Structure 1
Amino acid sequence: MSSIFAISLATAAIGAVVILIARFRLNPFIVLFTVSILLALIAGMPADKVVGSFEAGAGHVLGHVGTVIALGTMLGKMLAESGGADRIALTISNVAGRRRVDWAMMLIGLLIGLPVFFEVGFVLLIPLAFVLAERTDTPLLRVALPMGAALSVTHALIPPHPAALLAVSAYHANIGRTILLGIVIGTPIAIIAGPLFGRFASARVIPVGVNPLAKQFVSSKPPTSLPGFGITVFTILSPVMLMLIGSVADRITTPHSGPSTVLHFIGNTDIALLLATILSFYVLGQARGFSRETILRFTNECLGPTALIMLLIGAGGGFGRVLVDSGVSKSITDAALGAHMPLLILAWMLAAIVRIACGSATVAMATASGIVAPILASSTGVSPELMVLVTGAGSVAFGPMNDAGFWQIKEYLGLTVPQTIKTWSALETLIAVCGLVFCLIASIFVH
């Protein structure tokens, strides 16, 4: 398959998805499924493998993200119903002031996002964003976009996030220097793509209609009796702390020993969220006077609005898998490798291409660093630490529709597909481009 044909086919497929959903108001799941099938057939993929490829991609994504969304939504519901989200929102607005809640959410996102994947950080913090926006009379986008930008920056640029650690290992970079450079370069990027872009976007993009997710996380009147700030924050941070423990298990115990296995187990994303959710049933449920029947009703009713999100995330994963299995993404990657460009730009471009192809920033980072690492090993004058950062920047480029985050943002914030492209896709691209530019500037001084 020629690179020109592959690029044209991928562009046409993405354009068709946008037009069919936005212009003709067709069901997004049906559109993604249909376009994926047509793309595979046009690319020459055997007809008997097309549906299996889509199903494999959808299942792979939902196997992880579906569990995260379900548990995170239950935890968020308990925060909302108990008044815990109101307690944190009140504290934040008192400390930061109503005019700076977006800056506060960016800082919270940077801290929460360090050990967890984007989807996990998002479901933990989005109830807080809903309540904070409502109680301070601030546009939801102005609060939520800085939070999302911070989570995305930590995902891409700052170890010990799992995605960044993959590239650190591939490039044999010094983790201390990478963390330092990641903070120096990542912080201004988070500010530009977060509060600054968030204020610009929220003034121009106005969600329309009633957001069912906002309704379930925000009560019309704040509860009269609120839980303590300390226990509420502990409940939110408990999965983050468990994941941090899991990430350092081999450093504080003997690898592959019994204690190490236990710590890795409780530090698993799904287990950590499960334990935090069960904890919330007591400290934000029974301890607040809710009966078991009431807690069961909360956890059942909150899952209804997430059904469409899960379907769309699965369809996006299927779309990405078809791009890979059909050979479209490989043809585009081969074209980039043949362009003979500087290593920093090559790593960024390859990560961006894989990002468009499969949707996952983690996969994009791992794939691009695996391709470029052997080239870096035989080169001189290029900082391995900057290679980590520039690969991470490229891995979040474009915020494509086959990324779970795209549909999470769209559905949770009540946006249309064009509005999501104008806000989230633009924000992700801003992070990627700023990351490339800042790394190129830093390469003048860092070797």
Structure 2
Amino acid sequence: MTGHRQRAQLAREAAHLAPGASEETAFGQRVFARGRGTVLTDLDGNDYLDFAAGTLTQSLGHCHPEVVDALTAQAARLWNVHDAATEGRDELLALLARLLPDHLDTYALFSTGAEAVEAALRVVQATAPPGRNRLAALRHGFHGKTMGARMLVHWDIGHQAFAGNSVLGYAPHCYRCPLALEYPSCGVRCAALVRAHIAEKPNVSALVFEPVPGAGGVIVPPPGYWEQIADACRDHGVLLVADEVLTGGGRTGSFLACEALGIEPDLVVLSKGMANGFPFAVLAGRADLLRSPAAAGAGSYASTYASNPLGIAAARATLGVIERDRLTERVRELGALLGERLRALHARYEQLGDVRGMGLLFGLEFVTDGHSRSPAPGIARAVHTTALDLGLRTAVGGHIIRLAPPFTLDEGELDDGVRILADAIERATS
């Protein structure tokens, strides 16, 4: 439960802080004071296993010593000189080239995922042939809260509609198939419709997509989905723009989720885990796109905090550890164990309607009952807050709880986290 020191601070903040925090923050009512590895400590001294990894960002856990050392050393030397070259940036670019697929050999550096998504959209619009004046995206997608990112998925606010010119295709949501079909007898009909409505239209320039939609509930595509769509896009000249803000950097057990799913994107956006939670983002792509004179005019990839030395230092340290310690392999191993434990919970609790995931990224979908599959946000909220009181932090949104622990998790911590989660589900559903 929230202690008196936390309650006092939250009361002081309430006088001036605008509402609108995430559900997990609003429901949890915690003030975190410090973190080390997989453990967070609140202002009253209570400890929590962090199975949300910050905001799905702490690939190496909280305050990893090598990232702390890199940031501390850089902070004593230089913070910001706009987007000018600084010591070590060349080493980061070489590291990215080693970690990313060979064809993604050119990079622009930013500070947030949404900023890099907007840059990717500018590249597409600048290089698109005449007549290809429409973008495409997938339902249930999330690409940020900026205007261009919102327009992609038709996210209106208030009475203002800014759907723009984007075309939406079906995401591979097998548990809630919008076509009322069952996999595999469906023949992956959702992919066939994406092909027909997007990939084969002569006026679509690019499909912007999350390989595994995260905010939509960790929707893992079935075999055959991306194979159909990616090939059709390639055959019809539609660029593939992968939003790997959440999945990039090893979260799904390969450096890019696209690699595991057999997709060869033309542009990729990465951010959350790339610098272990420090603001940093990358737009990676084919040289002919990012170096095109139409897309690379003066200032095209510049912004106030782009290429800032602190972000570069944090990213070099984070990615260096991931490469050196072969943590993507560790993610696959731990992910297999976590999936096994979570599927056992799925078999025990009817209200845990679906469990899906890749690597160390899982979505738990809570429902009122297995037959109706009616979303149960109240149950998800109760599980989240109960788990927090028991010492486990998760990420909740609506009727979905997401789990994304740090790559440095050990098997004992994994079992402890699942045990607490099971206890929370038992209490919330009994």
Q: TM-score, normalised by structure 2?
A: 0.29
More strand by share: 2
More helix by share: 1
* Greater relative CO, 1 or 2 (CA 8 Å, sep 6+): 1
Q: TM-score, normalised by structure 1?
A: 0.29
